[in-house]
Chain A
């Protein structure tokens, strides 16, 4: 059995920017991947990896919090895509950049998270990436040697 399945739940643990993540090279777009001791931690880091790309390395001052829940996806990778889609919609319409994240529940087809956000600042975040969408292509969520690894490809 993978070690990650035996790891303790991180209920009540909120992760803040910056968090470790990996950028995956893709010819036209950008992939992000994050590792966590639990699936919840991996997904929280993936949300914050999106925040780091949107902020382009600029500081994000906390300005509020939003609860997001998603349902209806077929499996864990698609659930991760669904949660990041909601985060991206908040950026596209309300200019909210995620700066902290607590994934409160996660199961194939369902996720609930509390996401702290700051406001996009064109000057501070000038090097941010204009992400069009979170794609299903190459989406993965799997146990590994260092816990769980979640990955998505972003269309930019």
Chain B
């Protein structure tokens, strides 16, 4: 058991602190509905992240945090742009893994009676599973450069969109301007060139939902949500291209940590390998990571266009009748330069969110005009058998968490434990009995991704709402799900 984690103390309801000790430069802070188990290895990772050079205020863990590699999943760490470190492990392999919600003007009841046809058409249209590819023709080198530089804008220009407002409703407009396609290796390009518009596997999904309950009518109205409405969620990332960018950065930095000084050499986990942001290696990774983030936005944007057309085909309606619109698109795995108020001083920080969601509050100029009065949409997917939530960012999140919130339910069981629990059961049948059509490439995925494998996301969003770092707006319930 990590000794630092044993010293947990309660700050207030919903918030626990690991006081700094040893190489920790700041305290660790954990949002939870009770004292975290001191032997949870993720707590040790929260303490390890607090050792990052240049870290500001706290190493944070959202209530869905769990054991990752280097960083805990559900971790947030902000470092000073001038003196801090950039950590590929603080972003993760699936760079800009994220989720988006598309709204429609169709009532969900209309889909329930045709849920198999709708789900099957989506499954036929969006490639899923191991190494899924060829949703669209393989990208040429020039096209790949354009995708890496423009992100979602590239896909919208090729006709893949829900409506004309898609770009305004993506975090950062669906493109990070600092992306440097020249820093993305040939190997990364090779892994990604035929994967644009594909879902992948694991916890990635495309889901057709019903807006089941509205908790905050005023904010829901601003978000264009009403009860009984059909909506769609897409959860995916930068596919093999992003994995390779992270992999190469870690391979470069891991054996060379000593060259940046004692703070770097003393980091307790090689997966926390990092470099000063301004160093050549730091700048190379930053340029490549931002390009991979743009690839991920283009990926979700292409899938959006394909899925909207598939919905229209399967429901035999026009795109006008469907009236799809992108509610919002958020990143879960990214590091971005953002300005935040720290102890009364405006500072430029590089905020690493590894399995966490940006949750900027009302009035922030970085929130799209349509949502600026109420805070940005915070989209929190649950598991495929229960529900997901739409929340809104708050002023408290800006003060306490660098404008961050949770990102999902968080795994409760390992994949092995889930497989054991599923033995002798038909997860597919159980979901059908609950009115949910699921199509996946293999039955193993269904077992690994079963509801019991995840924490109840209602409990997770309950913590962020009670702690004040997000505000509950609506609950979505699945009708049809496709998985890899």
- A positions within 8 Å CB-CB of B: 23, 25-30, 56, 72-74, 78, 82, 85, 89, 91-93, 95, 120, 122, 125-130, 132-139, 153, 155-156
Contacts and interface: CB of A to CB of B under 8 A. Distances in A.
Interface in B249-301: 250-251, 254-255, 269-271, 273
Contacts of B414: 25-28
B281 to A, nearest CB: 14
B270 A120 contact: no
21 contacts: A25-B416, A26-B414, A28-B67, A56-B442, A78-B255, A82-B251, A85-B251, A89-B191, A122-B441, A127-B443, A129-B130, A130-B129, A132-B243, A133-B247, A134-B247, A136-B254, A136-B270, A136-B271, A137-B68, A137-B270, A155-B243
B202 A128 contact: no
B240 A137 contact: no
Contacts of B69: 29, 135-138, 153, 155
Given A126-B442, A136-B250, A137-B269, A95 B131 contact: yes
Given A27-B67, A120-B131, A138-B69, A133 B273 contact: no
B444 interface: yes
Given A136-B254, A136-B271, A155-B93, A28 B247 contact: no
Nearest to A57: B444
A130 B131 contact: yes
A78 B444 contact: no
Nearest to A25: B414
B187 interface: yes
A23 B416 CA distance: 9
Interface in B421-444: 441-444
Contacts of B244: 89, 92
B246 interface: yes
Contacts of A134: 247
A72 B250 CA distance: 13
A28 B271 contact: no
B200 interface: yes
A28 B417 contact: no
B82 interface: no
A132 B195 CA distance: 14
Given A27-B42, A28-B414, A91-B131, 17 more contacts: A25-B417, A26-B67, A27-B411, A28-B68, A28-B411, A56-B444, A78-B270, A82-B251, A89-B187, A92-B244, A127-B443, A130-B484, A135-B70, A136-B69, A137-B68, A137-B271, A139-B270
B185 to A, nearest CB: 11
Contacts of A128: 130
B201 A73 contact: no
A105 to B, nearest CB: 19
A152 to B, nearest CB: 10
B246 A133 contact: yes
A139 B42 CA distance: 17
Top 5 closest A-B pairs, CB basis?
A: A137-B69, A137-B271, A74-B255, A130-B201, A136-B270
B191 A130 contact: no
Nearest to B258: A74
Contacts of B200: 130
